Each structure stands twice: as structure tokens, then as C-alpha cells.
A and B are shown apart, each in its own frame.
Chain A
Amino acid sequence: MNLSSPENGKPDFYVGYLPTPPSHRRFLLLMIPALCIALVLVAMALAGRQRDPGATLVQSGEIESWSGTVFVDPYPMIITDDNTIHLVMGIGKFGVRDRVDEFDGVRCTVEGWRLMRSDRRGIQLALEPDAIRRDQSGKDAVSKPDLGVGEPVRLIGEIVDGKCFIGAMKPGDGKAHKACAILCIDGGLPPLFASIKPDDFETLPLVRVNGKAELTGGLLRLAGEPVVVEGILRSVGGLAVLDTTPEQVRRWVPSDDESRS
């Protein structure tokens, strides 16, 4: 491009506080729209290739209430009259064990907001002190479901926190979410196992390590990244529990016999 200005033969010279020379003006008039188009294309390309976080349902606004029998172990839950199991979780990244302990095996009314991902349902318990209270309907409490003997499994996937993954954050898994998953599980939210096999996603078993639905120490650090877990998978109704030990959970490596993809 010829940068000489016709009047004096000197090349066009741009200085910010002087009038913009014609060649620079022409360049800017072309470059600014081109830049805008490039930005739009880049934004569309980057935003358009984000992975699907999965179908979840997150209720906000009006508080809903459920009645049924509350159990504290392996993780606080309520089994409602239609025999659906809802994990009960706190506001923020906190569990609710301290609030439900006294209601173990008792028929209660629970108020909060609904979370749902495939078969796994959750309730975010409202903050009001009476958001969980004894049910006055006079109906009997049901007995705790028997999980049975289960079957040995070897699964590849990710230990996720039950609240984010079933809808509180989308996506609620993966490397970017790892710190959050650790904080949630450490705060008392349920560790769930999200298998890489789409079929297993329906199950989302609760991870129970040495009998407790908690992760500690080195195991907690494995939350939010690909792992291989061996253990016993037990399930009844909508509840599934993956019983394992710290020794049976290890970081997934590419040489493992199943690929992640």
C-alpha cells in the first residue's frame, strides 16, 4: 500500500494527537469491521463447541415441600410416599447432617428446592430452622431399604459432588470444577460416581468409603478427575451405593484398559 501523502511526498505519518493520515484512516475503516467479524466468529466457535453438561433440572424461586421418611445413612435422604429417594443437601457447599441427625427414621416434611439429574434427585434444604420438621399427617414411617449384597464392579469415571453434578452448577464435573467438587464434598455434600459409560450415568451411585459417604485425605484430592474405582455396587429402588476403600480408588491413566472417550 502506498503510504505517501500526495501533498508533500512524505510517507503518511501517524501520531495519536495529530489528524489521522488517509492511509491509516482507510486501514482503520477496513480493520475495525474485520476485527468485529473475527471476534464474532471466534466467540461463536468457542461458545458453540462447549460440551453438553447433561440434562438437569434446577428449581429456583418458590419453595417446595416433600413428606416422607428421613434416613441419615449412608447420606441424609428422604424417601417420599411415591417411593422416590431424594438426597438432602444444604445451601452453598454444605451438607445437612447436623440438621437431620435427630430425624433418622422419622417421618418428616422437608422444604427446599428441587435438583434432578436422570434418576438422581436432590433437595436443597431451605435455611429456615423448621425447613425439616416432624410430619403431622399421622402416616407411618417406612423402613430403611435393604441395599442387598450387590455385585463387584470396576468403574472408570469421576467422583463428583452430588449437588453441583445434579444441577447446581453446569457443568458440575471436569478439571475446571475440581476445586469446587473438593470443597463441596469436604463440606458434607454427597460424593457420587459419574461413570464414563453413558448407561451408568443413570445410576450415579453414592460413593461410600469404608462405610461412610465421605472422602478424606488423598482420596478427596482425587475428586473431579478421572479415576478407576473397584468395589461393590448395591442398589435398591432409586438408591445406589458404590462401596469401596481408599486402596480401591486410583487415578485413571491412559494405559487403563478402557478409554475415557
Chain B
Amino acid sequence: MREYRRLARLACKGQAMTNSYTWVQWNSHKKRYDTVLAACCLLYIIVFVGMSYVVHQGEHALSIMVVLIRAFSTLAIVLLHIILCIGPMSRFTSLVSPLLYNRRHLGVTMFVAALIHSGLVILYYGGFGIRAPLPAVVDGYASFATISGFPFEIFGLAALLILFTMAATSHDFWLAFLSARSWKILHMMIYPCYGLIVLHVFFGILQSEQHPLYGRMMILGVGLVTTLHLVAGLAERKRDAQGLAADSNWVDIGEVTNFQEGCGAVICLRDQERVAVFRHGDGLSALSNVCAHQGGPLGEGQIVDGCVTCPWHGYQYLPGNGQSPPPYHEKVPTYELRIDGTRVMLNPVPNEPGLAVKAALIPAGNETGDA
């Protein structure tokens, strides 16, 4: 990944750096994350395979290929649920930040599990016959009018194509190439993909494995993902609805002492983008709350080494101009602030991204917000 923020952080200290793309810029956290992830996946597969042969032994034993097909498919579904829960959970607690930080690796791992599942299915069920394996599986029959005859493999294949597109464009090169907005829209395809996977399961294995546990677990998973998204979404919407009216030139955003040294504060403005306000030393600066990387909430970040640092992946911006420190090019809009007595006033009209704005100086005697 284009993991240059650490280098940018060093840049803030005047150290040398590079902004070139590499396949993955490893750091110790990513190594630990991937090690734990690989170990968990391996553990799951081993337990699934082992349990399959504990339950049905000897002449009743399942074919190993069937067991592997099921092990990888269920692993992919479990990982997908974890991936989908991390986002809304991060709205409730910053403790899940370590999971969010490297979520792309989780996504790619999930895609690999789904790919292995599909490859085994195509080879095992579609191979060794009179037709080519892929058409034999997805076009071997079709009776769209019935549940029992519905070609559920089509849903799985469509989901796999979406997962492939997302995994292939997960690198920051594509984020820059496609623009953050288009990239985000592309990666929101995870939700239709999830729907396709639910349909794949419903029209597929739930039609032949009739133990109620499978249906119940799927309902539980869908319920959990839906509930978390609804609760998080409604809370965010409520926050926006209770935002400050931005109908005058200057909006009162609170007492100077409300702003803590080195920390961000998110200001919600009704019908407008949120604003991130940071206190750094004697000054207060305001930037768009939307990180130029993947739209992370800058106002939930902190000042690290003099730079506003995004809580999601650590991209950094100079508080005075919303620009990433050289040689990086990301910019976010800035806002003007002024201080009236002890009140902080915000001009709700955003400036061009990267436009330098003087920090609003905090009058002496208002240091309560200092740590």
C-alpha cells in the first residue's frame, strides 16, 4: 500500500523520505496483522476439516474436496461478516482502529478464500466431463422459475467478480488513479456483493443441507450486519440533523476551552460537510472532516508531530493549509476561524483544498483545553 504517511510524519521532522508506490509497505503492525489473520484462517480450515471427519467417519466420510469447498466458502463468509462489521463498529469505539487500519488485507484474504472455493467447485463439479468446467457449472442448467432449480452458482460468480475487482483495485495506486470518490463508489460494491452471497447461500447449500443451524446462522449474520449499519447510520444522521445551522457568515462552534490541545473536534453543520477543528499550541485551525484518502473522519484524529493525522490509515495534513507535507499532494479544504472573546467562530464556506489560512490565535488565559 502507499504507506507514505509514516514518511510524511518524518518529513514533518525534516527527515528524508520517498513517495513512490510499492506493493505493500510493510510495518510491524501489518506483519503482525497478517500473521494473526493467516493463523486464524488456518485454524478455521483445520478445525472445519477435522470436525467433518469426526462427525462422519469411515464409509460415511465426506469427500475431502467437498469438505475443502465448504471450509473455504464458510471461511470467506465469516471474514466478510467481520469486514462488514468493522466499519460501523468503528463509529462506536476507536478500539477497533487496529482492525480498520489493515482492513484491505482482510478483504483480499476473503477474496482468496472465495477464489479457492470457486476454483475447487469449478474443478470438482464442472471438471472431467464432456463440457468445459466453467460453463458446466454456471450454464449446466437453468430453471429460473423455481428455487430448487435456480442456478445459484451465477450469484456466486457475480460476487466473485465484484470481489476480484475490489481486491485488484485495493492498492493506493488505484485510489489515486480513479480518484477517491470513484474508488469509494467502486468499493461500496461490497454491499451488492454481500447480497449476492446471501442469495448464493440461500439458493444453494441451504437447499440441500437442511439442518436449521445453517439458515439460522445466515439470518444471524445478516441481522448483525444490518443492525450495526442501521444503528451507526442513524446515529450519524441524528448527529448531522442536530448540527449547527450554517446560515450566517460566522457560526459559533463553542468555547475556546472545549478544544483540547492536539486533538480534533468534529463540527456538524446542517446540510454541509462536517468540519474538523484542531487546537495546536496557541492556535485553532479547521479543515474538512473528510480525509482525501478514503474519507476517514479527520476530526477524530489527532495532531502527531505537528500534522493532523487521520485515524483510519494515518494520512497527514498540515493544519495551516490542509496539504499533506511535501512531497505528497493530498489536499483537503480549509476553513476560516476567528475568536470572539471566548467563543470560536467558524466561516462555514470551505476554501479551496490546500489554501493556507491563518490559525485563530487563542487569547492568553484560555488554556483550559490544554492537556
Contact = CB atoms under 8 A, between A and B. Distances in A.
Given A14-B94, A16-B27, A45 B217 contact: yes
B55 interface: yes
Given A18-B304, A32-B36, A94 B130 contact: yes
Interface residues of A, number: 67
A155 B38 CA distance: 49
Interface in B30-60: 30, 36, 40, 43-45, 47-52, 54-56, 58-60
A68 to B, nearest CB: 25
B62 A170 contact: yes
B248 interface: no
A1 B96 CA distance: 13
Interface residues of B, number: 84
A43 to B, nearest CB: 4
Nearest to A41: B47
Nearest to A220: B141
Interface string A16-41: 11101001100110001001100110
A3 B74 CA distance: 35
Interface string A226-248: 10000000000000000000000
B209 A50 contact: yes
B20 interface: no
Nearest to A7: B371
A145 interface: no
B51 A44 contact: yes
Contacts of B213: 45-46, 49
Interface majority SS (helix, strand, loop, mixed), chain B:
helix
Interface stretch (A52-60, A105-113, A205-213): A52-60
A149 interface: no
Contact of A16 (B30, B52, B126, B211): B30
Given A40-B43, A171-B66, A221-B143, A92 B128 contact: yes
Interface in A179-193: 179-180, 182-184, 186-187
B262 A10 contact: yes
Contacts of A93: 128-130
A10 B260 contact: yes
B129 A94 contact: yes
B214 interface: yes
A43 B153 contact: no
Contacts of A174: 207-209
A251 interface: yes
B146 interface: yes
Given A10-B302, A43-B44, A180-B125, A225 B148 contact: yes
A177 interface: yes
Nearest to A15: B314
Contacts of A11: 94, 263, 302
A9 interface: yes
Nearest to A42: B78
A255 interface: no
A35 B54 CA distance: 23
A261 B210 CA distance: 9
Residue in A11, A36, A42 whose Cβ sees the most chain B Cβ within 10 Å: A42
Given A50-B211, A170-B61, A221-B141, 11 more contacts: A3-B94, A13-B94, A17-B29, A27-B98, A46-B217, A175-B152, A179-B126, A179-B137, A183-B125, A183-B130, A225-B146
17 contacts: A10-B260, A16-B313, A36-B43, A43-B43, A46-B48, A49-B211, A50-B56, A51-B209, A93-B130, A175-B204, A176-B208, A179-B126, A180-B125, A183-B126, A183-B129, A221-B142, A225-B148
Interface of A: 1, 3, 8-18, 20, 23-24, 27-28, 32, 35-36, 39-40, 42-57, 91-94, 169-171, 173-180, 182-184, 186-187, 220-222, 225-226, 251-252, 261
Interface of B: 3, 5-6, 9, 27, 29-30, 36, 40, 43-45, 47-52, 54-56, 58-63, 65-67, 70-71, 74, 78, 93-95, 97-98, 101-102, 124-131, 136-138, 140-143, 146, 148-149, 152-153, 203-205, 207-211, 213-214, 217, 260-263, 301-302, 304, 309, 311, 313-314, 371
